[in-house]
A and B are shown apart, each in its own frame.
Chain A
Amino acid sequence: MIKSELIQIIAEENPHLYQSDVERIVGTIFEEITSALVRGERVELRGFGAFSVKHRDARIGRNPRTGESVEVEEKRVPFFKTGKLLRERLNDA
């Protein structure tokens, strides 16, 4: 499933909404999650999962091909933990 397919399904279920409104609704949801993470906040969606940001300190890495040392800058990486309900649904036979 890609974003446009998700928008299509929601639009079909809500014939009273314009397609462009549905696009904004779906876009707003993902934008809101991303901007919370950019602010360093967590997003917890019970039953689905939680998004958070982890910090990675600067370190000296190595180019595995040449063995050369390279400085890797400090960075922030997004992290997702699957919610309990979804984890269970994935494993229900």
Chain B
Amino acid sequence: MSSKTLTRMDLSEAVYREVGLSRNESAVLVESVLEHMSDALVKGETVKISSFGTFTVRAKSERMGRNPKTGEEVPIEPRRVLVFRASHIMKDRLNQSL
């Protein structure tokens, strides 16, 4: 298994290859897609990308945690977390090569 990591640069390179816009505009569009998804999530919306997966924001209520170093009890503030659920299509594709 390869340990390669893709970044924004690889995504904009793919857009550049596939669509034939300039490299710069491809990069701006990749950023814009991530930005709009983030904005929707921050507003508490669910973002559903068919055949890819669903991003959902979940509210966690306050609970008591513990500082593992000192053993001291500290309250963990209520917070919002992002959960990604992959679509069946993605899960199936990941397991086809097994």
Q: Which residues of chain B are within 8 angstroms of A91 by Cβ–Cβ distance?
A: 79-80
B48 touches A1 (CB 8 A): yes
The residue in chain A whose Cβ has the minimal distance to the Cβ of B1 is A40
Q: Which of A9, A43, A75, A87 contacts B5 (CB 8 A)?
A: A43
Interface string of A1-32 (1 = CB under 8 A from B): 11100100110011001000100111011111
Interface string of B68-80 (1 = CB under 8 A from A): 0000000000011
B82 touches A28 (CB 8 A): no
Q: How distant is the Cα of A43 from the Cα of B46 in the complex, in angstroms?
A: 21
Count how many pairs of residues, one from A and one from B, have CB atoms less than 8 Å apart in the complex.
147
A44-B6, A78-B94, A86-B42 given. 8 additional CB < 8 A pairs? A6-B33, A9-B36, A25-B19, A26-B33, A42-B4, A86-B38, A89-B42, A91-B80
Which residues of chain A have a CB within 8 Å of any CB of chain B?
A: 1-3, 6, 9-10, 13-14, 17, 21, 24-26, 28-34, 36-49, 51, 53, 73-80, 82, 86-87, 89-91
